């Protein structure tokens, strides 16, 4: 088994991974909205129209899809980086992608996530796309864990740290000014 230590460097990269993953996911929504000509606002945990409504469902769905597409791209990119380099310090960037989409899927009954809204719009119900995205991301995490021989300890501690960081982002989001 390869040595994987939860050290200061790993924790710092995990925190950076959480911040960047949330920020870039929302930035993708924001950038798509801006590119379509909308006045958008953004925090670390949301991107939104500053006023008005989308001109049509195509625009709304393009903005909605941009965040998850970026997150899926992130996961695939880091899956291949880890596979090529064997460097476990990149693992948080893959794991957080799965964690974010899984958490969002779990909140669908309260507030349908991006994939759920698109799935519903396509007539697939609220659950088909979220489940497919989560299964795909879980496959990447599981495959990486098996190929790289990551320990249960690494995974559990990483999930605990990601949960704490995610909770801090979600709770502090109401106090952060929007751009």
**To the nearest 10°, the Cα dihedral for 101, 123, 111, 104?**
0
Rg of the Cα atoms in the chain: 17
Task: Calculate the alpha carbon distances from 58 to 36, 64, 121, 124 in Å.
Answer: 10, 10, 10, 17
Mean pLDDT of the chain: 94
pLDDT (tens digit per residue) in 20-75: 999 999 999 999 999 999 999 999 899 999 999 999 999 999 999 999 999 999 99
Euclidean distance between CA atoms 96 and 24, whole angstroms: 12
Query: Closest Cα partner for 26 from 41, 40, 46?
Result: 46
pLDDT category, 175, cuts 50, 70, 90? confident
The three-state (H, E, C) secondary structure of 6-62, written as one string: CCHHHHHHHHHHHHHHHHHHHHHHHHHHHHCCCCEEEECCEEEECCCCCCCHHHHHH
Model pLDDT, residue 4 = 82
pLDDT mean over 139-157: 96
pLDDT (tens digit per residue) in 65-124: 999 999 999 999 999 999 999 999 999 999 999 999 999 999 999 989 999 999 999 999
Question: pTM of this prediction?
Answer: 0.92
């Amino acid at each position: 088994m390869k040595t994987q230590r939860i050290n200061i460097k790993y924790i710092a990269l995990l925190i950076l991974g959480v911040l960047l993953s949330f920020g870039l996911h929302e930035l993708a929504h924001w950038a798509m909205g801006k590119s379509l000509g909308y006045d958008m606002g953004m925090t670390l945990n949301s991107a939104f129209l500053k006023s008005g409504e989308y001109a049509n469902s195509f625009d709304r769905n393009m903005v909605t899809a941009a965040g998850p597409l970026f997150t899926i791209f992130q996961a695939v990119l880091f899956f291949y980086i880890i596979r090529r380099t064997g460097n476990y310090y990149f693992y948080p960037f893959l794991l957080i992608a799965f964690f974010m989409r899984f958490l969002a899927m779990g909140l669908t009954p309260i507030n349908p996530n991006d994939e759920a809204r698109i799935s519903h719009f396509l007539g697939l119900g609220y659950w088909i796309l979220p489940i497919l995205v989560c299964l795909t991301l879980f496959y990447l995490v599981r495959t990486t864990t098996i190929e790289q021989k990551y320990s249960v300890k690494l995974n559990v501690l990483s999930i605990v740290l990601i949960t704490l960081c995610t909770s801090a982002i979600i709770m502090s989001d109401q106090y952060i000014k929007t751009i």
